[in-house]
Every structure is written in structure tokens, then in C-alpha cells.
A and B are shown apart, each in its own frame.
Chain A
Amino acid sequence: MGLARSGGSGARFLDPAVLARISNLELLARTVVDGFLTGLHRSPHLGFSMDFAEHRPYMPGDDIRRIDWRLFARTDRHYIKLFEAETNANFAVLLDVSKSMAYGSHSVTKLDYARYLSACLAFFSSRQRDRVGMVTFDHDIVEYIPPSMKHMDTILHVLDQTVAGRAGSLKEPLLKITELLGRKGILIVISDFYEDPEEVVAAIGPLRARGHDVMVFHVMDPAELTFPFEDASGFEDLETGEQIPVIPAKLRADYQRLVKNHLETLAKRFKDSRIDYQLLNTSEPLDLALFQYLLARERMSRKR
């Protein structure tokens, strides 16, 4: 079973440049999610719930508890009874709102992109009847919305009001979050991870250790990846204000190499920690992130 990406009309709603024009986050999330789901060949609303969905033949490895014995009695074949997904799980978005997230070399900043993604994922999860919550943080927790079936609107409101203003770090706020989120759930961490990979993993690792299903979205602006600058300029760190003179042409190769190493290290370290990691380019549509999320959910549900 797999989910195929759609090239249909709904995909256009996933273009971040188009989304940037939609001011209402709920409308945005609804548009994205509905549009995205419309393009899928199969409904992703699958899982364990009281609403029957379909039967499928038993495959070795399936939980025998899920065999529809009544149907076996009638047909003498083993079928697995599938239901509409109704996980009723805790879902929380941990959104980095440090100053570096305010960067954007085109019409969409990393924070914008992250907000769209957060809104979409929360909306998506809300439809799944998950309890949705959200935590924004920089070097501390900025906003905390505990997971709840009723917090979708609050999340959208907070997302709408969020600005990136302070320097950030992962360790302290994530430690606090670990303590806040007692019940296991699905945690989506969205950040640009301008920290040493070891520290990043060390900060996120405890979440995983507490039994959360953690999924990491690494949001990067295309300029951060390619370093396309030409003129010699003073480059100012958005968070610290430090400036250094840079001749981009001379540094580009080194920079790209360092970023590549960083990303590879992060991916490897997350993989080692069994944390789903996805790099997102803010110039690319949201569907990659959503697709990745669905795959992960499916995988999680299977595990259950």
C-alpha cells in the first residue's frame, strides 16, 4: 500500500507562494488538506476506530485479533476488518519561533512556511480526531497549547499571531516540553536547527525517549542551501547581530560543503535515534511534508 502524490488541481494549493496570499490560516489549512487528500488515490483516513471501512485479505504478520471471524465463517477465508482511522492520539507541533526563522530570501519566510505546515498538520490531525496541541519556543517556551480536541482554533490563532523575535536554542525549551507532554503522542518538531547536530539530537532525543512519535521537519530557505549571494557584504547574524565581511563568491563552495555536511549529519543522527527527519525547502510545495507525514502516520498506525 502506498500513497501516490498527486499532480492534480489540488496541488497548486500547496505552493507556498500561493498560500502566502491566504490570510486565514484555517481556510489555508482546509484548502491544503482537502486539496491534498482529493489528489490521493486512497483515503488516508485509515486506522482503528468504530467506523468500518473495508475488508482485506489476511496477510501473514497481521494481528489475528483483527480477523473478521464472522466473515471467515461465511466465506471460509481470512479477512482483516479495516476501520476508519480514529486514533484519538495526542498530536503536538513544536514550532521554533527563534529570530532565524524570520529569514526568507523570497516571498515566504521560514516561519511562514512553518506556520502553514503547522496549521495543515494540525488541521489534518484534527480531522483524524486527534487531540491537537502546539508549543512555540525560542530559547524558552513562548506559547504552550496543551493537546485537546477543542484547541484547533486556538492553535490557528496562536499561529497567526506568532512572530520570530528572539534568539533560540533547542535544549532548554525541549526539555521543558518533555516534561509538559506527559501522555505519549505524535510530536512534530519544526525548526531550522542552527545548532550542532549532536546538540540537536540531544535536545530532541528525550522526547523520543518518553515514547513520543517524533517527526522532525527541518525548514531551510533556498538561500541558506545554495548561498547565491554575489556582492561582497557584511553578513549579520539575525539572532546575535554579529557581522562579518564576506565575499560570497569565495566562500560559496565552502559554505555549501559545510551545510551539506550538517544536513547529512543531522539526517544520520536522527535516523540513528529513530526519529523521522525531513528537510523542507521553503521554495517547494507543502505536499512533500504532508506526504511524509502521512507515510509516517501510516507506519505508526501499522505498528500499532
Chain B
Amino acid sequence: MSLAFLVPLFLLGIAGVVVPVLVHLTRRQRRNVVEFPSLMFLEKIPYQEQRRRRVQHWFLLSLRALALALLVLAFSRPFFDRTDLGTGANSGPREVVVLLDRSYSMEIGDQFEQGLDEARRIFSDLGPIDRASLVLFDQGAEVVVRSASDRLRLEAALDTASVGSSTTRFGPALKVAQTIIEESELPRGEVFLLSDFQRIAWTGDEGVNLPPGSTVTPVQLATESPDNLGVTDVQLSRQAASGRERVTPTARIVRRGGEEPIETTLTLELDGQQIQSQPVTVPANGSASVTFQPFTLSQPHTRGSVRLPADGLPADDARHFVLSPGNAMSVFVVEGGGAGRDASLYLRNALEISADGRFDVAFRRSSAIRPEDLDGTNAVVVNDVNIDGASADRLRDFVADGGGVLVVLGETSGWPASAADLLPGTIGPIEDRLQGRGGRLGFLEYGHPVFEAFSGPRSGDFTGARFFRARRLTPTDSATVLARFDDGSVALAELPLGRGSVLVWTSTLDSFWNDLALQPVYLPFVHRVMEYVGGRTEALPWFTSGQVVDLANPDALETAGLVSAEAAGLTDGLEQVAITPGGGSISLPAGEGPRYLPLSERGFYTVRPPGSDPDRPFVLAVNVDMEESDLGRIDPEELVSQVGTTPPGVESGPDFEQGAEFRNEDMEQRQSLWRWLLAAAFALFVAETLISNWISRAGGGQAALAGD
């Protein structure tokens, strides 16, 4: 260890020490001038040389000189060069990045505590000129401390780290480490990856490419994989009974690990109270389903949880959901005045047959639509009606305000030319398909919400339906064709208009022109079409941790299951506060624009106006991503081999001399000896002033006495 200077040129200023000497010698000569008749006698006295050379107050002179010397030393930025004491001194200082996994799988055992201890050990092994960063990661990566040399700060950051509720992804964390090392001026980069190394966290193609000379050191924190049970899903089927809605929860349990079947108990909690429990036997590496007794859903924002006894990984032992009683969708069906009584037989039955009573259907035989028909109506079905112009205009306003219209073409269908822009196409003549077995549906837009439910295998077969007659529809440019017959003609087309949309079905929805109504797919198809036209959005019973909800977006709120009564407060931008499952609070200040609520914890988030305590507040359920409960491991070495690093020496890293220069600056900055030197110099100046004043006063006093 030796004393070195960052700016040694400043040491030339040490010559300034002679200044106090000169001041000392010359100060007294520049006192007041006394005119005297002659210096004849004074010049004869041999005092001159002695007086000018003699220093009277050696102590004061020493103080001044020392203060100046300290000042000069402070400016030359001294430091103790302790390079030889540092670890890895031969290869230069390191930029260490500690990536600590905080996904919820780290809850198993004391993995996270092990990770913290390991990180502390790494920080304590840092050389005096090394720098380190702490990055906590799960699905994303959070840089808690960036490129710091202060160990206390690093360790303090570790003290505040905790396990999250998200899944593991190595990619973002390694990219953050890559950025830190790339931005560092230190010659070596070292990444310590502290994780339980789940296989799902690494796809192998994350685009990570660490700078040359960097190394990745994996630290495996996981012990043996535990026998883990998790509630992976809860299906909530609803039935309307006696005007009330009953919900039957069915939970699916997956077991990873184990060797023998295990018996456990699954409990159902509603609004925090346990109402049912079911025993269940789960085979090793198998799954089981448990259906609870139905419960009546009467209150909005009912919180529910299906829970297993806590095991090694408690995060996936519970599944939370929020339910609100559904609102029936109001459908108004208008039939042509001349239509028969069974003109809408199938359609009526299809809409009324819904198990959960989701449709409230009204029928009227008329060619005209009155304004009161549209009040409170979500969807209008114009079933084979020759509509008049006034009705068409009312429908135009209805659609523009967010309503939906399904126009079913038939024998008597007609549309006023003045409202032709309301339809996705021009209605043409009737086309018969009497040859052979009739026409079939040849193309369905499965990406559209209407047909999305039928996109999976064995989830609905439209090919069995035969179509013998249909109206020709020539679609406009702005229309979207959702279904075509096998000859390419349009079967179902949509035209968005304002906030709503108009769908045209070119054949009947009863069995007059086709036998779709006799097919199994008819009922779900009609339901899906009506739900789509009516704008119904299924409320999500839960969110997954890591998602973000925009509480200013009405659609997002509807998706979140917000009952409309409370919607006003959120959509109007009133101030809200969100209480997290952990008891923390997130302020959502009033104002325009998006108000994002990040859902980072598992459990229930309660959103309410600040200071209020509503009976049934708006609640969001958040569950962990079940992907993380798959504890299958990846070989850490395999991961390291896939992280693109260039071996040291292949490409020259930062110049070592430059690194050494930086190291000196770093050491000087950390030691900051100049502050102490400056303070000491200041103290010496103050002391010198006080002492010289005291001496001056004492001398003056003596002179005064002598004068008396």
C-alpha cells in the first residue's frame, strides 16, 4: 500500500509554503509610515538584517505552512494505492452482476435465503476496486443497485429483497447484465446467476450475448424437487335457478412429483369464509378434478378461493376468483308482419333455452321499429322483415350508440335504399341451391369472436348444415365477411358502425331455407352471435400476476368483472386507491388518461375511493402463473453454454491501462482523502487566525501597559 496522487502536478503548489514566510517577513514592513527628521542614528543601529530575518512566532508560521501544504495535498487528490491488496489484481477490476431469482418458486424451502446469503458472500468477496450490481428478476428484471462499489449499499439492498409472485425468465435478467457489463469501463465482467434453474425459464434463444471476457457463474439454489400439488384451474359453471344464479366450481389439481397417490382436502372459500371442503386423491405426477356443490351467487364482487393445504410451494396451492351475478342481455326480435307464428320458433327457443338466463328476449311482429322498442335493448334481430326507412334510421342511431343488429334475410326481407350504408353489402336476389344436397358453409372466420369458440377440434361442426336458399349479398369494401358458402357467396358479413356493428345472415335462422337449426351447433352459434352483437364481454374471474389493468378503460373494467354501478367512479376518473393483497396501497389519482394498476401479488386487489369502505368493493383476483409450478430443472452448465460469451483474449476488452487509470480514480474517489485534508487545512487556518489574533491582542495590551 503506497500513497499516490491523482493529480501530482498540483504538488508544485507546495512552493506556496514560502508565502507565509514572506508574509511573516514583509508584513511588518508595510505598516504605517512615520516621518522623522533624519535616519542618521537609526541607520547606524545594526538591527535591520536581524529583524527582517527573524521569525517571531514559529508556531504561527508552522500552522500557516502546514495549512497550505494540506491544501496543496488536497488538490493533488491523494489516495492509498491498494491495488496489491485487491483480489484478482493481475487481471484487473471486475464488474460483478448478481442476478437473484425472486420468482415464487424460490419460496420452496429456504432457497431465497440461500440466494441472499450467496449474494452477500459474493459482495463480501469484492475487491476494493471491483464494482457490483444487484438485479432481482422473475418475469422481468429490476436493477436494484447498479454498478456500485459501496458494499453497505449492496447489502442493504439485499435486506429489502423479497420473493414475488411471478414466473422465472432468465432472458431479461441476462440482457440487463449484458447491458451493465457493456456500459462498464472495468476490464472484466462477471455474472452470478442465483436461481433454482427451472426449465421453463429458458427457451435457449433469448438473444443474450455477453461482452468478451465476461463469465457467467450459475449458483444452483434448489435442493431436490418437492412433491408439489397445485390448483391449476377452477371452472365456474353458472345455472339460473328460480331467478337466481348458482355457480358450480370445479377445481383441477395437478401433482408434480411423488411416487404414491396422496390424499388431500380441497376447500372452497367465499368472501373469506370456508364453505365447503372435498377430499381428493391425487396420483403421483397426475391430476384430479373436484366439483363442489353449487352455491348461490347473489352479491356482486364475491371473492372465492379454492385452496389446498400448504405444501413446499404455497403460491400455487390456492386459486382465487371473483364473481358477480350476471345481467341478462336484452334482445329484441322483430318479425315481419306477415310471417307465420313459427317464423322465429327455433330462434326463440334457442335464446330462451340458455341455462343461466342470459338472454331477455322480446318479440314483435311488425315491419316498423318504434323508438321504445330500442330502449334498454342490447341487440336487435331483424328476422326476415322488409324494414321501412324510419326504422332503418332508428337502427342507425341505435348501432352508432353501441347497439348491435343482426339482419336475417328471408323471403320478405327488404331494406330501404336510403339506409343501404347500414348494411355490410347490397342485398340481391334469392339464390336457390337445390342441386344435390344443397350448399354448405365452406369458410368460417375462426379468428372472429363469433366463431372463435368453434375453432378447436370437436367444438362445433358447421359442415353438417345444408343450405338450400340464400339471398345474394354483395359486400361493400368496409364489410368483413365472416362466413361463406362453399360456392364463395357470403353467408355472414359484418359492418362496424359507430360503437356497434351490423351483421347480415343471408339465409334464415329457422328451418325454412336450411337445416342449420337442426344441427347441434345451432344453439351455441346463435348464442355466440347474439352475445357478440349485444356486446357482452365475459368477465374474467381472475388475472395472472404480472398483468396490468387500465382502470380508466371501460372495456377493461368490464372484462375485470366490474359491476356497472361502481363503474362511474372509475371511468369518470375519480380518485381511487387499490389495496394490494399484501396490505399495501396503490394510489390512483384522479385525472384523465390511463390509470394502470400493476397486478404483481397473488390474492385480491380491492379498488375503492380513498377513505370509503363500501360493502362490496370492486375486487380483482390475481393468481400466479401455473407455469412456474413446473419445477423441472435445467442443467445450469447447459444454460451457461447457451449464453453467448466470447472467451477472454479472443477480442480485446477494455484497455487495461485505461482500466488502471480508472481504478486510480475509483480508489481516490472512494477514499476521498482530499475532504479530510481540506477540512484539516480549514481548521488550521481557523486556529492560526484565532491564535494570531490572541497574540496580537496580548502584544497590544503589553504595549499599552508599557506606554502607561
B56's nearest neighbour on chain A, judged by CB, is A247
B40's nearest neighbour on chain A, judged by CB, is: A194
Q: Is A235 a contact partner of B28 (Cβ separation < 8 A)?
A: no
Chain B nearest CB, measured from A98 CB (Å): 9
Contact of B37 among A103, A250, A251 (CB under 8 A): A103
Q: With A and B bound together, what is the CA distance between A232 and B38 in angstroms?
A: 17
Q: Does A76 contact B (CB under 8 A)?
A: no
Contacts of A101 in B (CB 8 A): 37
Write 22 A-B pairs (CB below 8 A) sorted by A numbering.
A100-B37, A103-B37, A194-B37, A224-B37, A229-B34, A230-B707, A231-B32, A232-B28, A232-B31, A233-B34, A234-B33, A235-B33, A235-B39, A236-B34, A236-B35, A236-B36, A237-B37, A246-B34, A247-B28, A249-B706, A254-B47, A258-B44
Interface mask (B37-53 → A, CB under 8 Å = 1, otherwise 0): 11111111101100110
Q: How far is the CA of A254 from the CA of B40 in the complex (A)?
A: 12
Q: Is A262 an interface residue (CB 8 A)?
A: yes
B43-A238 in contact (CB<8A)? no
Residues from 671 to 706 in B contacting A, C-beta threshold 8 Å: 703, 706
Query: B residues within 8 A CB of A230?
Result: 703, 706-707
Partner of B48, one of A110, A244, A258: A244
B29 touches A245 (CB 8 A): yes
**Nearest Cβ in chain B — how far from A193, in angstroms?**
10
Would you call A234 and B38 a contact (CB within 8 A)? Answer: no
Judge if A179 is at the interface, Cβ distance under 8 Å.
no
The chain A residues found within 8 Å of chain B, CB to CB, are 100-101, 103, 110, 192, 194, 221, 224, 229-240, 242-247, 249-251, 254-255, 258-259, 262
Q: Which residues of chain B are near A243, meaning CB under 8 Å?
A: 33
Closest B residue, CB atoms, query A98: B37
Q: Which of B39, B48, B52 has the most CB of A within 10 A?
A: B39
B29 touching A234 by the CB < 8 A rule?
yes
Interface string of B95-111 (1 = CB under 8 A from A): 00000000000000000
Residues in A neighbouring B43, C-beta threshold 8 A: 244
A251 near B42: Cβ-Cβ < 8 Å: yes
Q: How far is the CB of A142 from chain B (nearest CB, A)?
A: 18
For window 6-41 of chain B, which residues contact chain A by CB distance below 8 Å?
Answer: 28-41
CA distance A228 to B43 in the complex (A): 17
Specify which chain B residues have a CB less than 8 angstroms from the CB of A245 in the assembled complex: 28-29, 31, 48, 51-52
Known interface pairs A230-B707, A232-B28, A245-B52; A238-B45 also in contact (CB < 8 Å): no
Interface residues on B, range: 20 to 34
Contacts of B42 in A (CB 8 A): 235, 244, 246, 251, 255
- Residue from B29, B36, B43, B51 having most chain A Cβ neighbours under 10 A: B36
Task: Check A233–B51 contact: CB distance below 8 A.
Answer: no
CA distance A101 to B38 in the complex (A): 10
CA A262 to CA B37, docked complex, whole Å: 15
B41 x A250 contact (CB < 8 A): no
Among B29, B32, B33, B41, the residue within 8 A (CB) of A258 is: B41
Q: How far is the CB of B358 from chain A (nearest CB, A)?
A: 110
Q: Is the CB of B51 within 8 A of A247?
A: yes
What is the CB-to-nearest-CB distance from A269 to chain B, in angstroms, rounded to a whole number? Answer: 16
Q: CA separation between A245 and B53, bound complex, in Å?
A: 13
A221 CA to B28 CA, complexed, in Å: 26
Cβ of A221: which chain B residues have Cβ within 8 Å of it?
37
B45 touches A231 (CB 8 A): no
* Cα distance A229–B43 in the bound complex, in angstroms: 16
Cβ contact within 8 Å between A259 and B41: yes
* Assembly CA distance A4 to B706 (angstroms): 39
Main secondary structure of the interface of A (DSSP, over half): mixed
Q: Are A250 and B35 in contact (CB under 8 A)?
A: no
Closest to A234 in B: B33
Contacts of B40 in A (CB 8 A): 194
Closest chain-A Cβ to B23's Cβ sits at a distance in Å of: 14
Q: Whose C-beta in chain B lies nearest to the C-beta of A241?
A: B35
Chain B residues, Cβ within 8 Å of A229: 34
Q: In the complex the two chains form, is A237's CB within 8 Å of B41's CB? A: no
User: Is B45's CB under 8 angstroms from A233's CB?
Assistant: no
Chain B residues contacting A238 (CB-CB under 8 Å) are: 35-38
Taking CB atoms, residues of chain B closer than 8 Å to A100 are: 37-38
In angstroms, Cα B613 to Cα A196, docked, is 114
Most chain-A Cβ atoms within 10 A of its Cβ — which of B33, B41, B48, B52? B41
How far is the CB of A254 from the nearest CB of chain B, in Å?
Answer: 5
| Contact between chains at B31 and A233 (CB < 8 Å) | yes
Q: Which residues of B contact A235 (CB under 8 A)?
A: 33-36, 39, 42
A110: chain B residues at CB < 8 Å are 37
What is the minimal beta-carbon distance from A95 to any residue of chain B, in angstroms? 16
Q: Which of A236, A239, A251, A262 contacts B47 (CB 8 A)?
A: A251
Alpha-carbon distance between A254 and B51 when the two chains are bound, in angstroms: 15
Q: How far is the CA of A249 from the CA of B34 in the complex (A)?
A: 15
Q: Least Cβ distance of A248 to chain B in Å?
A: 9
* CA–CA, A100 and B28, complex, Å: 25
Q: How far is the CA of A238 from the CA of B34 in the complex (A)?
A: 10
Q: Which of B61-115 contact A (CB under 8 A)?
A: none
In the complex the two chains form, is B39's CB within 8 Å of A244's CB? yes
Closest chain B CB from A244 CB (angstroms):
6
Give the docked Cα–Cα distance between A237 and B37 (Å): 6
Q: How far is the CA of A192 from the CA of B47 in the complex (A)?
A: 25
What CA separation (Å) do A274 and B499 show in the bound complex?
Answer: 140
- Asked whether B33 lies within 8 Å of A236 as measured between CB atoms, the reply is yes
Taking a contact as CB atoms under 8 Å apart, the answer to whether A233 and B37 are in contact is no
A103-B35, A234-B33, A238-B37 given; name 13 further pairs at CB < 8 Å: A194-B38, A224-B37, A233-B31, A234-B34, A235-B33, A235-B35, A235-B39, A239-B38, A246-B47, A250-B51, A251-B47, A254-B45, A255-B42
Give complex CA distance A229, B703 in Å: 11
B142 to chain A, nearest CB (A): 72
Q: Which residues of A contact B703 (CB under 8 A)?
A: 230-231, 249
CB distance from A110 to the nearest CB of B (A): 8
**Bound-complex Cα distance A242 to B42 (A):** 12
Q: Do the beta carbons of B39 and A242 come within 8 Å of each other?
A: yes
Closest to A256 in B: B41
Contacts of A194 in B (CB 8 A): 37-38, 40
CB-defined contacts of B45 to chain A, threshold 8 Å: 251, 254-255, 258
How far does the alpha carbon of A190 sit from the alpha carbon of B705 in the complex, in Å? 38
**Docked CA distance A259–B42 (Å):** 10
Residues of B within 8 Å of A234, CB to CB, are 29-34
Chain B hits for A254, CB < 8 A: 45, 47
* Closest chain A CB from B558 CB (angstroms): 96
Which residues of chain B are near A246, meaning CB under 8 Å? 34, 42, 47
Nearest chain-A residue to B52 (Cβ)? A245
Give the docked Cα–Cα distance between A229 and B29 (Å).
Answer: 15
Q: Among B29, B30, B37, B707, point to the contact of A192 (Cβ < 8 A).
A: B37
Residues of A within 8 Å of B47, CB to CB, are 246-247, 250-251, 254
**Chain A contacts of B28 at CB under 8 A?**
232, 245, 247
Shortest Cβ gap from A46 to chain B (Å): 38
Query: For the complex, what is the distance from the CA of A255 to the CA of B707, rounded to whole Å?
Result: 18
Chain A residues with CB below 8 A from B39, complex form: 235, 237, 240, 242, 244
C-beta contact mask, B136-152 vs A, less than 8 Å → 1, else 0? 00000000000000000
A61 to B661, CA, bound (A): 113
